[in-house]
Structure 1
Amino acid sequence: MYILEPESRERIWGTPRLHDYSGDQQIEKIGSVYSASGVSEIDCGIVNEEKTFSEMIAENPGKFGLESGEVYPLIISFTACDENLSIQVHPTDEYAQKVEQMPYGKSEAWYFINSPEKGWIYAEQQIPEKSIILEAAKENNYPKILKEYPVAQHDLIYIPSGTIHALTKGSLVYEIQQATDITYRFYDYDRIDKNGKKRDLHVEKAIATLQPDKQVEKRTFESGETVNQREFTIQHLKGKQIVENNSDVASILTIIAGTLVIAGTTCQAGQSIVLLKDEMFELPDTVEAVLATPTKYWKK
């Protein structure tokens, strides 16, 4: 069992609201607090250990249910925005392997702790033809093609790779994604970064990996519910109970609300604990958490 140290990332659309989820107090506009990540770009430290999460896995991958050279296949974060995110798409498995030399693409899911101000996010498109989408990209005229997809607090939205989407202002989510952290931007509202430059767009790659026929999935994620997707299984836990990892791969227990103490270390909202195979832990009655377990679908 390991307690991970969250990593905060500043974003142009970020918010101080993520200070309540173990966000770095020195950063005002936090876009994401990475609660569990073991990739080179975002590598969480481990409490009372000198090695990072990725280094620990590289040293003994079998301990985490992985093979030599594999990274932990999921990234868990808390993401929030005080402005709309860019209109974007993530690579499919096929595109990630062919173009980015990555083992898989990036599907993700959002559990809405706070819903967006206007009650919707961008997801999917009204017109499926890529040529029309590309024309809209050239004209920066996205409202005519994008769907305003309704969401509410406590909804769970699964976004398969290759699906156009964007979080909108006011959202605060628990986010689970595959560990290929690649985003292709269609449009970014002509925003200027802190260096006075517009952020890069990736329209050609975004169009190439876009799968217009794909749809997002919306469902409830109440306490006690379990959701199975191709890439992961997540369980919504609340109240006193025994949490056990019955998988061959390490699971990630992430605190949504409340505090718990492990071996004298107090863990707060925004933090994650790695549970190895057959490890168990008693969740206090004041804590709400999500247990995430990777599915190594590419091995089947």
Structure 2
Amino acid sequence: MIELYPLKFKTIFKDKIWGGDKIKTILQKDYSPLKNCGETWEISGIKDNVSVVAEGPLAGRALTDLIKEYKSRLVGEKVYERSGEEFPLLVKFIDATEDLSIQVHPNDALAQERHQSLGKTEVWYILQADKGAKLISGFNREINQDIYLKHLNDNALGQILNQEEVSADDVFFIPAGRVHTIGKGLLLAEIQQSSDITYRIYDFDRTDDTGKKRELHTEQALDAIDYKHYNSYKTAYEPKKNEAVRLVENPYFTTNVLHLDLPLARNYKELNSFVILVCLKGQATLKYGTGEMPLKAGDSVLVPAVLKEITLVPDGDFKVLECFV
């Protein structure tokens, strides 16, 4: 059995009606074959979109096959007991040159009942924002289903949605049930449950190349939506250098941000989980055991659970998300 090491995967590119060119120009994934690349899937266990190892002795192996072979050595005992051979997270970069559809994702119970799937809770880290770029997260007042439907049917949904102007390094936690959309001019990293279920509420009457509108899921969304109003939708955190800063912690994943200009050792002995590193800015070297790996913005790396200690050595200013279950 080949000894496990930090794994990079081949990028899966997704053509989207609202996609742009920042995947190429900012993240330097200039080998994208798509003109309108709206998403890249960096680490995925979703059927028909399973990530394949890009380099090293395990190059060409599918993530799902590796879980079957290495089990808890790859994902951790706690994760393997809960998720078995299903990888529990999906990592993406998203580039919106136009507003995405207004949408909502079901929770675990509803997703299991309807789709035999996990629900979809996610977190967004804003990498770059054009001037005046905005997003939608939740409602701007207390409403109920009747008020929601009236505004939807009157084409006045925008009156009750919470719109936020966005800057680089902003973080938004989007639990299942929260109505949301990513606005035009935003490039972000997304970490989410391993699910591709989206209920599209409104799509700005857009049509594809054939003049056809995308499907809406009005009825399915009604039972999925959290109609509550919350005082704040943006995740508050205090940026610090050369230490892990907690962004979100929930039953599905915990995510930290590390902003480094000095080497930082990370000890994962107590986690009992794999760790995902999503590189946001700059370059660094990942040192593990007797090996090392270069990192740069746009890279995502799966650190197997069997590797309990790593060191990140930045080359100048380096920023990375650290995520585990």
Do Structure 1 and Structure 2 share a fold, with TM-score over 0.5?
Answer: yes
Give the partner amino acid of 2:127: I
Q: Does 1:288 align with 2:316?
A: no
Mark the CA change 1:153 to 1:283 in structure 2 (over 3 Å): closer, same or farther. Answer: same
TM-score (norm: length of structure 2): 0.82
CA shift for structure 1 position 83: 0.7
Match of 2:304 in 1: 276
Q: What is the alpha-carbon distance in structure 2 between the residues aligned to residue 255 and residue 169 of structure 1?
A: 22
Question: Counterparts of 1:205 and 1:22 in 2: how far apart (Å)?
Answer: 38
CA contact (8 A) 1:88 1:186 kept: yes
Give CA-to-partner distance per residue, 1:201-243, whole Å, 9 cap, x none: 1111111111111643421362431234212111212232123
Cα 1:70–1:222 change in 2 (3 A) is farther
TM superposition shift of 1:127:
4.9
More divergent stretch after superposition (267-276 vs 81-90): 267-276
How far off its partner does 1:248 sit? 1.1
Instruction: Figure out how many residues of one structure are paired with residues of the other and give that number.
Output: 293
Tell me the residue number matched to 1:106.
Answer: 120
Pair 1:17-2:22 in alignment? yes
The letter of the residue matching 1:291 is E
What do the CA deviations read for 1:10-36 (whole angstroms, capped 9, x no partner)? 111111011132544321211112222
Most deviating of 110-119 and 8-17: 110-119
**RMSD, matched Cα:** 2.2
Of 259, 276, 283, which aligns to 1:252? 276
How has the CA–CA distance of structure 1 residues 41 and 142 changed in structure 2, closer, same or farther, with 3 Å as cutoff? farther
Three-state SS of the structure 1 residue aligned to 2:153 is helix
Cα offset, 1:280, TM superposition: 2.9
Deviation at 1:149, TM superposition (A): 2.6
Query: 1:114 offset after TM fit, Å?
Result: 1.7
From 108, 111, 134, the equivalent of 1:93 is 108
Quick check: 1:193–1:199 contact (8 Å CA) kept in 2?
Answer: yes
Determine if the alignment matches structure 1 residue 8 to structure 2 residue 13: yes
Instruction: Evaluate the alpha carbon distance shift between residue 47 and residue 245 of structure 1 in structure 2; reply closer, same or farther with a 3 A threshold.
Output: farther
Amino acid at match of 2:10: E
Which stretches in structure 1 are left out of the alignment for 5+ residues? 295-300
Q: Deviations over 1:73-103 (max 9, x none)?
A: 111111121111100001112211221112x
In the alignment, which residue of structure 1 is the partner of 2:137?
123
Where do 5+ consecutive residues of structure 2 fail to align? 1-5
Equivalent AA in structure 1 for residue 8 of structure 2: I
The reply to whether residue 227 of structure 1 matches residue 242 of structure 2 is no
2:172 alignment partner in structure 1: 157
Contact 2:132 2:166 in 1 (8 A): no
The 3-state SS of whatever aligns with 1:47 is coil
Partner-residue secondary structure (3-state), 1:110: strand
Alpha-carbon distance between aligned partners in 1 of 2:64 and 2:153, rounded to the nearest angstrom: 40
Q: TM-score, normalised by structure 1?
A: 0.89
1:47 aligns with 2:54: yes
Compare CA radii of gyration and give the structure with the larger one: 2
